[in-house]
Amino acid sequence: MGLDSYVSLGRSGLAVSPFCLGAMNFGEDFGTGCGVEEAEEIISRYLERGGNFVDTANFYTNTHSEKIIGDYFAARPGLRDRVVIATKFFTNLHPGDPNGGGANRKAVLAQVDESLRRLRTDYIDLYWLHNYDAATPLEETLRVLDDLVTAGKIRYVGFSDTPAWYTARADVVAAFRGWSPVVALQLEYSLLERTIEGELIPLAEHTGMAVLPWGPLKNGFLAGTYTRERPVPADSRRAGVYGIRPTDAQFDVIEAVTAVAEESGASPAAVALAWVRGRPGVTSTLIGPRRLDHLEANLAALDLTLTRDQRAALDSVSSPALNFPAALNRESAPMLQYAGATVNGRPTSVYPLLLDNPARY
């Protein structure tokens, strides 16, 4: 499988690569990214391998990420229309201005024009709401996004990091009003962060929204450089800046990933990415390389297929604690509903209190 084994973006007709090139590390303005030359080399290699999906946000590396992408494609006439460019709005880039960010009409219209200018393009293929805006009516946000689709400034709408109830309501309102639907969700998802399995992934599967996991390596924890003996690698710039390190429970997962990697002859990063890529509902996975060798290491996951036993081992060690009523609906509901019958290939058991007390009234 390669980057040119394209997949449909949820219920839309847009075809994208199975790995999306995340550009959060393009630019050194936040102290953890790469310079312009290396960023352009990463883009070039990704495109050469057949990739067509690049993702950024208005505030990444203090707006430099969008500028790097815009300059790259502007210098290569005809190439921009061959790729899918996504960016996000929400973050306020104008301190002191209460309308400089968020999802109200004034903010969205200003932010899209600023991103179009930096990206040096006439349109954005996929425009993400980056966070939940508690102060703005949902209808206001959806209407202005639909207006932008009508105006040709954006092609598709996506939500990132929004609550399940809010996202579900957006789906219903957009359908009722005939506005542009939310076609994709960008969510944190990895072997170390699986709680979206409780509400958001079932929502996406039910509505046909694509799921694009971000953070599949969880701050690099799953890349093979962290061990219990070396909780903060000496060469980890991100760890140095943010002071992040895995917990003991996370190291249990990291060590399981390392064991599967050794058994498969693959890198831990490839194992972690292959696990995410194979999860239900996942359409395209975001990778955020800072160096060219990071990109190559990530792309190796496209050629890795985990065995059933390997997946079971990783699933077990990383099993998440989900909010109520996820566990109840997963464990008790089928037993109460089917009473020992096998339905859709899934066997069930009989509710214990009914075994010796069949219906008798």
Tens-digit pLDDT profile for residues 154-182: 999 999 999 999 999 999 999 999 999 99
Catalytic machinery residues: 60
Give the pLDDT of residue 237: 57
What's the CA angle centered on 28, arms 101 and 75, to 5 degrees?
85
Average pLDDT over residues 274-290: 96
Do the bridges between strand 53-55 and strand 19-22 make them parallel or antiparallel, or are there none, so unpaired? parallel
Cβ neighbourhood burial of 195 (10 Å; 0-12, 13-18, 19+) = middle
Q: What is the pLDDT at residue 359?
A: 63
Within a 10 A sphere around the Cβ of 278, how many other Cβ atoms? 13
Q: Across residues 11-32, what is the average pLDDT?
A: 95
Mean of the per-residue pLDDT values for the chain? 93
**Residue intervals in the chain for CATH 3.20.20.100:** 7-317
Q: What's the pLDDT score for residue 355?
A: 65
* Full-model pTM: 0.92
Encode pLDDT of 37-72 as tens digits. Answer: 999 999 999 999 999 999 999 999 999 999 999 999
CA-nearest of 195, 196, 316, 304 to 256 is: 316
Fold held by 7-317:
TIM Barrel (3.20.20)
Q: Report the pLDDT value the prediction gives residue 356, as an integer from 0 to 100.
A: 64
78, 77, 73, 37: which is closest to 56 by C-alpha? 73
Q: Any idea which residue has 């390190």 for tokens?
A: 245
Average pLDDT over residues 285-304: 95
Amino acid occupying residue 320 = P
Dihedral over Cα of 242, 248, 253, 254: its sign: positive
